[in-house]
Amino acid sequence: MKILELNNVEFHYPGSEFRLANINLTFNENDFAFILGPNGSGKSTLFKLILGSKKPEKGTIKLKSKNVFEYSDKERAKNIAYVPQSSLTVYPYSIYEIVMMGRTPYFNFTGFERKRDMEIVDEALETVGLYGLRNKGINEVSGGEAQRAFIARALAQKSDLILLDEPTAHLDLKHQYSIIKLLRKLNEEQGLTIISIIHDLNLAGNFNGRAILMKNGKVFADDKIEKILISERIKEVFDVDSEVSTKTLDSGKKIFIHILDKQKF
């Protein structure tokens, strides 16, 4: 079943030469996709359009066959969960409070959580392995644990689609891998459609799925990740020379990218 469709979408920022153009993408239930591309290629702008915070000049964006702009803010939040690029907060919320924020679209006029909300939050905390830390302050835990809390907040929204803008930014290698592994597990076990913007090609290459490669505001390629991460495409999009190798392990096929030092600066 189609969960998200973008048809001939175009957008540009006033006063800027950048233009997102001719975007045609379809995401189905249970898709696991990476959005790849250089800085300024349009990845985050694409998310803003999907989330309804920006409106395309041309084209349509449909969420479950309905124009995304026909949803109220609450309805949209029930159907799309979003984990932004930087989720740090200066407020001393507990992990439990952070995750409970995901239930906001379901609160009634009183604004108070109900028993079902509490059950869903506990379930989300268990899923990401943070139930034992639920009373800890969000600024008292590691970056990896904090990111898991924001993913749990997205789970608490009970939407079928989760967008993540660079979910591994500022994390060490162990936590980068564990976050993507968690997302893949949620995709496989809960059937969630998960779309992540990510910069680390080698990290993306450790997981089977779909990759959408963007360049200059356009979709340059859209295919299985092993067909996207090849030397020729990496050169065309990122302007670097590379050697790409694959290795089949018990956990599946892994892609390794080695950048060759041929660049002139």
> Which pLDDT tens digit goes with each residue over 85-96?
866 666 789 999
Query: Using CA atoms, how far apart are residues 108 and 94, in angstroms rounded to an integer?
Result: 22
- Please write the tens of the pLDDT for every residue from 55-79: 999 999 999 999 999 999 999 999 9
The residue type found at 265 is: F
Share of the chain above pLDDT 90, in %: 83
Considering the chain, what is the average pLDDT of its residues? 92
Query: Using CA atoms, how far apart are residues 186 and 70, in angstroms rounded to an integer?
Result: 28
Look at residue 240 and tell me whether its pLDDT is greater than 60: yes
Look at residue 228 and tell me whether its pLDDT is greater than 70: yes
pLDDT of residue 216: 95
pLDDT of residue 97: 96
Nearest Cα to Cα of residue 41 among 25, 22, 20, 15: 20
Look at residue 263 and tell me whether its pLDDT is greater than 60: no
Please count the other Cβ atoms lying within 10 Å of the Cβ belonging to residue 187: 19
- Please write the tens of the pLDDT for every residue from 110-145: 778 899 999 999 999 999 999 999 999 999 999 999
| Cβ-Cβ contacts under 8 Å for 200 (sequence gap 6 or more) | 168, 176
Average pLDDT over residues 183-190: 96
pLDDT of residue 108: 81
Nearest Cα to Cα of residue 96 among 144, 156, 169, 142: 156
What is the pLDDT confidence band of residue 248, given thresholds at 50, 70 and 90?
A: confident
- Please write the tens of the pLDDT for every residue from 149-174: 999 999 999 999 999 999 999 899 99
Look at residue 258 and tell me whether its pLDDT is greater than 80: yes
Residue 221 main-chain phi, psi, to 5 deg:
-160, 150
Q: Do the beta carbons of residue 244 and residue 227 sit within 8 Å?
A: no
What is the pLDDT confidence band of residue 1, given thresholds at 50, 70 and 90?
A: confident
Model pTM score: 0.94
Alpha-carbon dihedral angle through residues 192, 193, 197, 201, given to the nearest 10 degrees? 90
pLDDT of residue 88: 63
Average pLDDT over residues 217-226: 96
Query: Using CA atoms, how far apart are residues 18 and 16, in angstroms rounded to an integer?
Result: 5
What is the pLDDT confidence band of residue 253, given thresholds at 50, 70 and 90?
A: confident
Go through 229-255 and write b for each residue having 16 or more CB atoms within 10 A of its CB, e for each that does not.
beeebbeebbeeebebeeeeeeeeebb
Residue that is written with structure tokens 């564990």 in the block:
178
pLDDT of residue 264: 58
pLDDT of residue 243: 93
Query: Using CA atoms, how far apart are residues 133 and 125, in angstroms rounded to an integer?
Result: 9
Domains of the chain: 2-230 (3.40.50.300)
